[in-house]
Structures are given as C-alpha cells and as structure tokens.
Amino acid sequence: MIKKITAENFKPYGWVIEYPKKHLKGKSKNLFRIVLKETKKFGWRIAYLIVRDKKLTRLECHTLSFESFEPVAGQSLMYVAKNKNAEAVECFYLDRPIILKKGVWHGVVTLTPECEIKLTENAQVQCVYWRDTQLDKVLAQSYSRAHKIKSEG
C-alpha cells in the first residue's frame, strides 16, 4: 500500500519538514522553527538528485547521517524500512519535504519521466546497500500498484 506522508505515519522513519499547527499562529508574523539539529561536528552538503529509475534493485542506508529529501519537480515514491525485513518496507508518495533518521533503509523511484529532489546530508556519507530476492519482489509489486493507480487517476 502506498501512503501519503503525514507527520504521524512517517515518525518511525524521520520528520516532515513543516511548521506544526501554523494555522494557530496567526498570519501577520514570520514563523521560524528548527526541525532537526545535528549536535556532532560533521559538516554538511546540499545535493540535487535527478531520478530516472522506475525500478529499485536495492535500498541504501546511512548509519551516521540524517538526510533530507525535498521534492522539486516530478512525482516520486520513497521506500523506507527500519530494518532488513522486506515485508516491513513501506512506500510513500514523496510529495512533501522530509528528513530521514540515521540508519533508515531507503530508495526513490520516479512515477514521471524524471523527478528532481534537493538533498541535504553530512559532508561525508557512508552508504550500506541491501539487495535480496524478497526485497526485489516487494519493491516491484509496490511500484506496479502505484503506476496502475497513477494511470487510472
């Protein structure tokens, strides 16, 4: 099942970049909120990702880095899991900016010819990859359902 990202349902994996309950804050003053603060001294980088993959063959994880995904153009799906259990992989429409917790398995595919995503992460990132046949099956079934829903809608 493909889910729409909400602060509540995405909490196991990270945070939605938003200002909570902004409707209660009036409309005349600027609002500022720190969504996440890294206390260790890593340095950071901003990257621009153009996704053309329509199928994933692996998920990746960064054990020492948070990572933001901020959609800019196109439509994409984000697959996430807290551990290496293919049956526990969840799929979300990546239609709003999010931050992944350290150690979350993840991958992104596009539903359009390509999608564009702004990333922010530690300056040095170590990637660990997860591939297996059960994961391949789960990812393929999920993408197939999403593409069918998109073409019907």
Look at residue 27 in the predicted model and tell me its pLDDT. 87
Token pair recorded at residue 116: 């564009």
| DSSP code of residue 37 | -
Token pair recorded at residue 69: 């995904």
3-class state of residue 72 by DSSP: strand
Token pair recorded at residue 18: 């938003």
Count CB atoms within 10 A of the CB of residue 39.
5
The residues near 33 (Cβ < 8 Å, ≥ 6 apart) are 19, 20
* Structure confidence by residue, pLDDT tens digits, 42-96: 889 999 999 999 989 899 999 999 999 999 999 999 999 999 999 999 999 999 9
The domain defined by 43-152 folds into Jelly Rolls (2.60.120)
Helices (H), 1-153: 7-10, 133-152
Look at residue 148 in the predicted model and tell me its pLDDT. 66
Q: Letter for the amino acid at 85?
A: N
* Structure confidence by residue, pLDDT tens digits, 89-137: 999 999 999 999 999 999 999 999 999 999 999 999 999 999 988 888 8
Is it the case that residue 22 has pLDDT exceeding 60? Answer: yes
